Structure 1
């Protein structure tokens, strides 16, 4: 009963606070619904950034990968902090100076409307086939593993999965459909505090248990007995995430995701001014540095505790088993609420961004160019409902064999490299043509798909033979290759078919764009801490 009360209590608390903070807001304009009326402050931006990104696919997926491999998988978190520094110092000032609502809107200004439509469709496709259903699946799997929903309700595993997916999906949809970005951001911030507390609680309690009541004794035992697990370079034979990818595809992945990805950048676009936006992004970058302690270290602890009883193929159970072993019963309900809150935050944030993209990049272009604010909000809500229903239907059908987190990154990488090439060349050059951009957006994903999915086995066999390697080429190296190929292809095409006009950025007085005076110093500190993390744990 106490578990149920604490679960319902925290969930209701989040909903009530979100409602109280937004009940007087009028959702009668695109800025109000999609950007929170450009009124978001630093802490709200930081909380929403963290919870839009972090969810059960990290808690369960990355900890599971750490169980099977090493803490090298922490690179997905640590290098993100560097990309967020880049967002705060370089990209965000450009976005706010241009008064952007969406990233594809920049592509209209820089190239043409057709380029924007293609980019919008690629964004929506990546959200629909990868992020939304996988987030729901991880959430449902985690809840089932932790709280035995099927046994409690007398259902089969499959029935419990469908019930949990639809329950979480429907609840998450309510925030995105009726509350808009501001309600999403506020709920993210509250859930973010709970996520951080609960996430840190698990490794702390586990290390105290390992050390028979002494946290530092437990940490020393873990580091001594599982020393090989703490090699952050990941250069063991057949490495799951080799160190070299940090200088190739990981750079492309992180810059795209944190600097140009609509579902992430939209939080900062809703800032009340540039200073608040920079503080929010850099604050979130600081929290990112805690990521390894929450979503990687527990995987190593689980390996230490359960390596003799949990086979490698059941790696997704590593984190749930650890939680069951160390979490006091009195906190189970709170932890369940935080888990579900993390799923809701990612799900509703991506839904809101998808609705924004559709309305600004598809609806206004093809259906109603002069659509009023209420008409855009209505279209956004309908889009959210359709995508939510599709994701809830697809999630239980996903194959869970292999690394789901790795699969998610591979699917996303299909779009990331080419889109980043188009956006960066649009910002850094004036002569790359719209024709070249469209070719890059269409051909780039096709090339990556063929290299990794369509003819993946043949490509790997050929590369291993040519370069005399015993291990396969990591997909992040191929991502970097496609990115460079797209850049070179666009430059070559533009040479023979140059741009019809020279792009000149138009400044829009949407918000105050005075920078935060401590932004550069804070960015340097975060960067040094990130590098220090690798220096300290390299073996």
Structure 2
């Protein structure tokens, strides 16, 4: 391990640690509202940064660069095409949430379908976080650190053992951060991460091009644009990781779910000062998603010109960073990866506790007529975070044994939770008489059919297309049930807003600009221009 690299790592992590200590000490968390929603006081930069860097985590940095290296730029669609979904959420879904004054996604489902459906979805969310989100973030962080600092070589122990050790170190630190700071401190970290992320997004490609150009950036850029041009193509065929047609089927649904339903994402928006602030925050995050390929995908393309073959392609990004960057910069980027893992892990822990406390524990207390002081509730919330953290740390090392690439695994497993939940949410938005039994049948039908398509039968259909097909079929089933057994009293929206619900006046201008930039990015990385 290089001393300069360690100094670079400690430099950025030291700044982040000091900022976290200062912020958490200045805004002491004493209530659940402060722990979970920062007392609904966040400005648009904190909202936008929280959204973007809760989404961009170690799993996406490692996973997208791996797929870009092994396949091509089609993987950028996960981030870039999400701009459309974010703008739709900003215009139609977030105003609804804020007008209702809800705290969690299951709150809407409880209001729309009844407490049984809300509790069921809360449990599904928790299962998703414990078995997929949190372990995948820890695993990706461990892979990145071993690739950067070569711990398995330095310590002379097995790779799997190193991953296990690093997972537990990161999980322990992340849990402490989450319990001490609450959501406001987490979003403050996101702003610092933003500075580091985009700095690294400029520096790593710069040094990568310099490396493949043997010291001349222009030579490196020429090689990148003229050799292995197939990796520059973002318009995927049926044989690619992301066929282009999936952008208009399952991927759109997944993105709508993620930005409009995923608890640890909408919690960032629901913590804003008002509706206008939340819509500005979503616009800031959308712009960030358009810039993010600099660090999520371009290093993977550069790696094609550096590594002819790799035994473990999940280490593409860290290996490239440690090889082409000066040691101090490599350490700095390693710190960015570390903080990226912490921010998403912390947000996931915070939201897990939110779901448990507000949708399971407090309703149980109310049912049994028990009065518990706020201080005790806060302690219970933090204890639950510890339990979730321990479970995630036990599961994370097992991801080492999955096939077909780490990021593909993450997205396929997400399919068991994301679009099924979005389907019943969508039907709750657009209908007024579909009953609770339809939502329960729809959830079970969707999850079982998706499981059969992925684990039992080989359909030869891309999993994103399967999600879209099941979405349509499940909606049809719910409509039939609603026709046969409609709710006696149709659902009506009840306003209970805690903040100002006046929308952002100039949002439509920015919507057009962001959509044009999104389309332009796909055209740039296509056979029309760079992949010609």
Query: TM-score scaled to structure 1, two decimals?
Result: 0.93
Structure-2 separation of matches of 1:163 and 1:355: 25
List alignment gaps of at least 5 residues for structure 1.
461-471
CA contact (8 A) 1:2 1:330 kept: yes
CA contact (8 A) 1:433 1:500 kept: no
Give the aligned partner of residue 241 of structure 1: 242
**Is 1:392 aligned with 2:393?**
yes
Per-residue deviation at 1:6? 3.1
Give the aligned partner of residue 321 of structure 2: 323
Per-residue deviation at 1:192? 2.5
Structure-2 separation of matches of 1:174 and 1:253: 31
Matches within 5 A, 1:165-204: 165-204=167-206
Give the aligned partner of residue 358 of structure 2: 360
Q: 3-state DSSP class of the match of 2:51?
A: helix
- The change in CA–CA distance for 1:514 and 1:19 in structure 2 (over 3 A counts) is farther
Give the aligned partner of residue 284 of structure 2: 283
Give the aligned partner of residue 344 of structure 1: 342
Per-residue deviation at 1:151? 3.1
List alignment gaps of at least 5 residues for structure 2.
528-532
**Is 1:532 aligned with 2:520?**
yes
Give the aligned partner of residue 52 of structure 2: 50
Structure-2 separation of matches of 1:374 and 1:494: 44
Per-residue deviation at 1:368? 4.6
Give the aligned partner of residue 135 of structure 1: 137
Per-residue deviation at 1:533? 1.8
Per-residue deviation at 1:140? 0.3
> 141-150 or 185-194: which moved more?
185-194
Per-residue deviation at 1:141? 0.9
Q: 3-state DSSP class of the match of 1:432?
A: coil
Query: TM-score scaled to structure 2, two decimals?
Result: 0.94
Deviation per CA, 1:3-39, whole angstroms, max 9, x where unpaired?
3333223223212212322324343332211101101
Match of 1:110 among 86, 96, 112: 112
Deviation per CA, 1:89-113, whole angstroms, max 9, x where unpaired?
2211111111111011011111100
Per-residue deviation at 1:213? 4.4
Structure-2 separation of matches of 1:84 and 1:216: 36
Match of 2:124 among 102, 122, 125: 122
Give the aligned partner of residue 410 of structure 2: 408
CA contact (8 A) 1:128 1:391 kept: yes
Structure-2 separation of matches of 1:338 and 1:213: 25
Per-residue deviation at 1:341? 0.6
Structure-1 separation of matches of 2:488 and 2:375: 36
Per-residue deviation at 1:191? 1.8
Per-residue deviation at 1:154? 4.5
CA contact (8 A) 1:133 1:395 kept: yes
Structure-2 separation of matches of 1:39 and 1:401: 43
Give the aligned partner of residue 493 of structure 1: 481
RMSD: 1.7
CA contact (8 A) 2:82 2:252 kept: no
Give the aligned partner of residue 294 of structure 2: 293
> 193-202 or 23-32: which moved more?
23-32
CA contact (8 A) 1:97 1:509 kept: yes
Give the aligned partner of residue 254 of structure 1: 255
Structure-2 separation of matches of 1:403 and 1:27: 40
CA contact (8 A) 1:119 1:441 kept: no
Structure-1 separation of matches of 2:8 and 2:524: 40
Deviation per CA, 1:420-440, whole angstroms, max 9, x where unpaired?
111111112211111211221
Structure-1 separation of matches of 2:226 and 2:170: 41
